[in-house]
Amino acid sequence: MAPRSLVAGNWKMNGVKSSVSELEALIQMVNDGDKADCDVLICPPATLVDRFVGVADGSLVNIGAQDCHTNTSGAHTGDIAANMVADLGAGYIIVGHSERRADHGETSDLVNNKAEAVLTENLTAIICVGETEAERKAGDTLKVVVADQLANSVPESATPENTIIAYEPVWAIGTGLTPTVDDVAEVHTAIRAALVERFGDGVGNGFAILYGGSVKPTNAKELMAADNVNGALVGGASLKATDFNGIIDAYR
């Protein structure tokens, strides 16, 4: 069975209470317009998850969080646990984003443990992998993305029902630079092959693999049509409802 496609918006450290107007506008576009053949997700900063869950209740827009701790509670000032996200009614948590790996020194082993915490709460983990520009220029893309990050970040308990993989080349995030469609297809196909080898044909082919990195309305349709691309993880273009809906249009 082919994976269900997902267009997800990662708001990162953007958004205040008044930003709910963009969510409301997106909900109207998604609910009242031509229905898209994909799921839709917004992951706002932690301060807005509760409010966004309430606004999106009953709509076609899902709400998630951007990170979680490996533990369910404890002396971890500033962190949030997966059970706290679940308690708010959100359904997804992003783990292992390159900005977390770079800014906070997160290793693939730590990402694995975070993903395990997400799955324990019956939420969906979006596990991010991606190479830097230097790694790409050195010809190490597949080594870094597949042999290291994918192999070590995805827990044994992962299934297509509870885990999504997101490939985001670090050098393309927010830069306006985008790999060619062939480049994206090559990496996604390698990720697919690794998932099939590890989990078996039936399971490995069921995982959704998202592409992220300067996705916008003008290139979304072409990128979403690439082999083994099952949706997008969108950064800056998800902050405005009209831009994000333009990306969702790739599935209409």
Question: Which residue numbers are catalytic?
Answer: 97, 168
Helix-helix angle 46-56:20-32, to 10 degrees: 40
Residues 6+ apart with CB under 8 A from 15: 44, 45, 47, 48, 239
Residue 92 zone, left/alpha/beta (φ > 0; ψ -120 to 50; rest): beta
